[in-house]
């Protein structure tokens, strides 16, 4: 098994591509060992000292580390754990649950549903595929008073360039296609 790695714009996150599907549908994000209870792969990665986040996508795994550990030390350990997991034949997720559940969306009462549909479609077709290339994900959370609220996940969460991505990239694109949009903000 050959596992490729890719740096991400976030120096604390690295993308691992095992060359096979990781999740058939959706995504899953874990920020602690306790949160990773449903994923044997994520639990295995959290056993490595210095791993503080695991994000599972369709064909990739993004691992986030602490500032105290270097990739030079962590990368071989992560590669070994990913290889061990996939060669064991164990499932990535133990339970059949929706892995990309997002909290309730919120909107102004007077917002036209067509505006929200257009915003969501742009995010799904133009934004999410681009950020998945960098090992992350962006989820639509709401739209109020001209502001689109997005949740950053995977390598995007905590990335130093995420503000630039939100403001110069996503905000400009949404404002161009949807005149009702005035700005974009990140939410936790």
The number of folded domains in the chain is 2
The CATH number covering residue 122 comes to 3.30.300.130
Mean pLDDT, 10 residues at a time, over the chain (188 residues)? Answer: 92 95 92 95 97 95 96 97 95 69 67 87 90 86 92 81 82 93 90
Query: What is the predicted pLDDT for the residue at 101?
Result: 47
Query: What is the predicted pLDDT for the residue at 99?
Result: 45
- Give the residue numbers spanning the domain of 38: 4-88
Q: Is residue 95 part of a domain?
A: no
Same-domain status, 13 and 67: yes
Same-domain status, 60 and 119: no
Query: What is the predicted pLDDT for the residue at 62?
Result: 96
Cβ partners under 8 Å of residue 9, min gap 6: 134, 155, 159, 160, 161, 162, 165
Same-domain status, 10 and 73: yes
Query: What is the predicted pLDDT for the residue at 103?
Result: 57
């Amino acid at each position: 098994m050959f596992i490729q790695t890719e740096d991400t714009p976030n120096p604390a996150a690295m993308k691992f591509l095992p060359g096979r599907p990781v999740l058939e549908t959706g995504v899953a994000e874990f920020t602690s060992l306790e949160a990773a209870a449903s994923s044997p792969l994520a639990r295995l990665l959290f056993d490595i000292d210095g791993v503080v986040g695991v994000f599972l996508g369709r064909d990739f795994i993004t691992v986030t580390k602490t500032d105290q550990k270097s990739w030079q030390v962590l990368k071989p350990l992560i590669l070994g754990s990913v290889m061990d997991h996939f060669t064991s034949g164990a499932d990535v997720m133990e339970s059949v649950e929706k892995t990309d559940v997002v909290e309730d969306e919120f909107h102004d009462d007077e917002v036209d549903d067509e505006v929200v549909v257009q915003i969501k479609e742009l995010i799904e077709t133009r934004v999410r595929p681009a950020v998945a290339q960098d090992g992350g994900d962006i989820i639509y959370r709401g739209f109020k008073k001209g502001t689109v609220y997005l949740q950053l996940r995977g390598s995007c969460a905590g990335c130093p360039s995420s503000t630039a991505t939100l403001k110069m990239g996503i905000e400009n694109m949404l404002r161009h296609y949807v005149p009702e949009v005035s700005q974009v903000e990140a939410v936790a």
